Amino acid sequence: MFSIHGVTGQTFRGSLEHLIQVPGAFAARHARGIHREGDELGAEFELVRRRVSDEQDHDPRYARAAAAYAKSLHPETHRESVRHAYQVMGRSVLTLRVEDTVEAAWHRLMARGVRQAPVLDPARGVVGMVSERELLTVLDLVGKTPTGGLERQVREVMASPVICADPVTDIRRIARVLLETGLTALPVVDEAGRLAGIVSRGDILRAVLSDPPLSLWI
* Largest separation between any pair of C-alpha atoms in the chain: 71
Q: Could you read off the pLDDT tens digit of each residue along the chain, which spans 218 residues? A: 999 999 889 999 999 999 988 988 886 443 344 444 444 444 444 444 455 455 555 666 666 766 666 665 555 545 567 789 999 999 999 999 999 999 999 999 999 999 999 999 988 899 999 998 888 888 877 777 777 778 889 999 999 999 999 999 999 999 999 999 888 899 999 999 999 999 999 999 888 777 555 555 54
Q: What is the pLDDT of residue 212?
A: 57
Enter the pTM of the model: 0.70
41-45 own/partner pairs: CB under 8 Å, 24+ apart: none
Q: Residue 138 in contact with residue 157, Cβ under 8 Å? A: yes
Q: What is the pLDDT of residue 41?
A: 45
User: Which CATH superfamily includes the segment(s) 2-30+83-209?
Assistant: CBS-domain (3.10.580.10)
Q: What is the pLDDT of residue 35?
A: 41
Q: What is the pLDDT of residue 209?
A: 79
Extents of the domains making up the chain? 2-30+83-209, 39-72
Kindly compute the dihedral angle of the four CA atoms of residues 33, 36, 40, 44, in this order, to the nearest 10 degrees.
-160
Q: How far are the Cα atoms of 32, 147, 195 from residue 85, in angstroms, in the given order?
A: 25, 37, 13
Q: What is the pLDDT of residue 70?
A: 61
Q: How far apart are CA 185 and CA 177, in angstroms?
A: 9
